[in-house]
Amino acid sequence: MTIETKPPRAEVSPEARIFREAAAEGRFLIRRCGACGEAHYYPRSHCPVCGSRDVDWVEASGGASLYSFTVMEGAKRATAPAIVDLDEGLRINSVVLDADVHRLAIGDRVTVAFQADREGVLRLAFTTAEANAARAHTDAAMAAVAADEKAFAAGKPPVEIETVAVIGAGNMGIGITTAFLKAGFSVLMIDRAEEAFERARARIAETLERDVTRKRLSAEGAAATLARLATSTAMADLARADLVVEAVWEQMELKTSVFAEASRHARPGVCLCSNTSTLDIDEIAAATDRPDRVVGLHFFNPAHVMRLLEVVRGAATSEATLALAMQVGQRLGKVPVVVGNAYGFVGNRLMIARERQAARMLLEGALPRQIDAVLTRFGMPMGTFEMQDMAGGIELSYRNRQSTGEKNFIIDRLFEAGRLGQKTGKGYYRYEPGKTRPIVDAEVTAIIEAASADAGIERRAISDEEIEERLILLMINEGAKLVAAGIARRPSDIDVVWQTGFGWPSWKGGPMYHADRLGIGAVHARLVDLHARFGDPFAPAPLLETMARSGETFATLASSATGSETGTAR
């Protein structure tokens, strides 16, 4: 596969070469006049204050404080245009990037962080010390996850994987296949009927085509990639596979029968992986002849884009199997994180808790726009309702409840009104044709108000602060429970999961890192209060209480301590 990248357009003036070379080393140069002593910004061969040609480079400290700033509302990347006072006495136009821009104040300290522009030219920008600290935590958390592969492999040589079988040519199967193809694997797709393959091929070709248009892939490269895809309706063909990944419908009877059949056809020792998002891996593994070689590979939608891969460890899953899963995940360019076998695993567990609480606040008086705005100002790339509209959450929730008969006033009404999310042009919001910008819709407001009336709840104004607490502290609480139960092997794994799977910004570390910033004692105290007012979901995790008492933080929490207290993953 050939990856073509456009060479950066050189937009560097000859006089600025030294500045660029220093910037590449993270050093920030300014000019100082030998005659009048005045400094100036950006190179000239003379002093713009006195006209002398006796000017030279001097290294600036890189420290500055905010003279004024504003925030680019709605920007994908946290961006605050700023005028900064350099410690050397210059006041210049710049920008604060990748930091908690909604919490900046005039006078705040900022520090130089050169950033490449779209052409690859390093340009002056600033960030905050807090953001840098969070990124350092992120780097360490990522490194810890990356080291797991070796730890599980325990020195054994990696298994050679060439051909991967993907069972189920549906939405996830297509994304997973695309991911494997793009990483250089050969893929055999298996489904019950030929028709499924036509759609699958078309969608994969479309994705590759987009890469060609964006010049990330050559036309020949795209053709060669697609040529590595084979399809079959015969499970017997699994014999050709070095690895099997299942992505059929989410039903236990179906999954167990598929796994039983797969274990008949797949060569001995070949790993059987399931992409299930909610089902028990152990029950699936029990249907096979090789429970030690069964593992969950939980991809996130769209599977060829999202970096997170939850590697779900069943009770019988061997370390060698985990090592193989991690190895494959890394070859896919993903961030594989080993998690325990529990409902929702790690990522969705926190998300589901957040969604439920957000839905509860709709009944109490909030509206989707307010809740989503709190989350985006917090730093998330999108709010929970926007996300549900994008991912088809309304339909999923409605269909999942049909077997149980469980009711949900708001979601049922939205579904009945054809509001399935972005794909029908309306969900919690409405959307202009072909656009993804959510627009507030009075119909939804009316449904929400009716739901409150139906539940006998008198709507009240809910403050942004309350919304933030009830969503974020709840996630922290849920995360603490996962750490205690060993479902998350390290607090920082939760941070990695939420960064790579749900867009938690690296400049804010992750939910558990955030808990440490707030202070565990404070988090616990707030949860006690929220528990009294809003009930069970806020009952503080016992671990938080222990930590609050001992003064420990998630950063200092030794994995052995949690292990002895609560046991490890099932």
Partner 1 sequence: MSIKGQACVAGIYEHPTRRADDLSIARLHADVALGALADAGLSPSDVDAYFCGADAPGIGGFSMAEYIGLNNLRYMDTTETGGSSYLLHVSHAARAIATGQCNVALITMADRPLAAGAGPVLAGVDMSKVPEREFAPPVMVPPVYGYAMVAKRHMHEFGTTAEQLAWVKVAASHHAQYNPHARLREPMTLADVMASPLVADPLRRADCCVVTDGGGALVITRPEIARSLARPVVKIAGAGEAMRHSRGGRIDLLHSAGVFSAAKAFEEAGVTPGDIKYASLYDSFTITVIMQLEDIGFCEKGMGGRFVADGNLISGIGRLPVNTDGGGLCSNHPGNKGGMTKMLEAVRQCRGEAHPSVQVADHGLVLAHGTGGLLSSQHMAGTVILEAA
Task: Note the residues at the interface with partner 1 (CB under 8 A).
Answer: 11-13, 16, 30, 38-42, 44, 48-49, 67-73, 77, 79, 81-83, 86, 90-95, 97, 106, 115-117, 121, 123-125
Answer for the pair 514, 464: CB distance below 8 angstroms, yes or no. Answer: no
CB of 172 to ligand NAD, least distance (A): 3
SS3 content of the chain, % helix, strand, coil (to 5): 50, 15, 35
249 binds ligand NAD (CB under 6 A): yes
Q: Fill in the amino acid letter for 171.
A: N
Could you tell which of partner 1, ligand NAD, none binds residue 263, using a CB distance below 5 to 8 A set by kind?
Answer: none
DSSP-derived pairing of the beta strands 294-299 and 308-313: antiparallel
Q: Which is nearer to ligand NAD, 169 or 480 (CB)?
A: 169
Alpha helices in 58-194 (DSSP H): 129-153, 171-182
Q: Fill in the amino acid letter for 160.
A: E
CB of 171 to partner 1, least distance (A): 34
Q: Which is nearer to ligand NAD, 344 or 379 (CB)?
A: 344
Q: Fill in the amino acid letter for 531.
A: H
Q: Which is nearer to partner 1, 105 or 532 (CB)?
A: 105
232 binds ligand NAD (CB under 6 A): no
CB of 14 to partner 1, least distance (A): 11
Alpha helices in 334-435 (DSSP H): 347-364, 368-378, 384-391, 393-402, 409-416
Q: Which is nearer to partner 1, 115 or 163 (CB)?
A: 115
Judged by CB under 6 A, the number of residues near ligand NAD is 23
Cβ neighbours, 10 Å, residue 176: 26
CB of 74 to partner 1, least distance (A): 9
Q: Which is nearer to partner 1, 55 or 165 (CB)?
A: 55
Beta-bridge partner residues of 296: 274, 312
Q: Which is nearer to ligand NAD, 41 or 299 (CB)?
A: 299
Could you tell which of partner 1, ligand NAD, none binds residue 117, using a CB distance below 5 to 8 A set by kind?
Answer: partner 1
Could you tell which of ligand NAD, partner 1, none binds residue 97, using a CB distance below 5 to 8 A set by kind?
Answer: partner 1
188 binds ligand NAD (CB under 6 A): no
Q: Fill in the amino acid letter for 489.
A: R
| Cα-trace Rg, the chain | 27
CB of 40 to partner 1, least distance (A): 3
| Residue 231 to residue 275: CA distance in whole angstroms | 19
Chain centroid, CA 414 distance in Å? 27
Instruction: Write out the E strands in 358-426.
Output: none
Pick from 101, 124, 172, 394 the residue near ligand NAD by CB under 6 A. Answer: 172
Chain centroid, CA 412 distance in Å? 28
Residue 73 in tokens: 């509302």
190 binds ligand NAD (CB under 6 A): yes
| Residue 281 to residue 313: CA distance in whole angstroms | 8
248 binds ligand NAD (CB under 6 A): yes
CB of 149 to ligand NAD, least distance (A): 22
**Interface mask toward ligand NAD for 279-318; x: CB under 6 A:** --------------------xxx-----------------
Best CA proximity match to 515, nearest among 505, 506, 526: 526
Residue range at the interface with ligand NAD (CB under 6 A); choices 17-25, 178-186, 189-197, 372-380: 189-197
Chain centroid, CA 124 distance in Å? 28
Chain centroid, CA 507 distance in Å? 13
100 binds ligand NAD (CB under 6 A): no
Q: Which is nearer to ligand NAD, 301 or 553 (CB)?
A: 301
Q: What count of Cα atoms within 13 Å lies in the side-chain half-sphere of residue 496? A: 24
Could you tell which of ligand NAD, partner 1, none binds residue 86, using a CB distance below 5 to 8 A set by kind?
Answer: partner 1
Q: Which is nearer to ligand NAD, 98 or 246 (CB)?
A: 246
| Residue 166 to residue 162: CA distance in whole angstroms | 13
| Residue 170 to residue 196: CA distance in whole angstroms | 7
Residues that bind ligand NAD (CB under 6 A): 167-173, 190-192, 196, 247-250, 254, 258, 275-277, 299-301
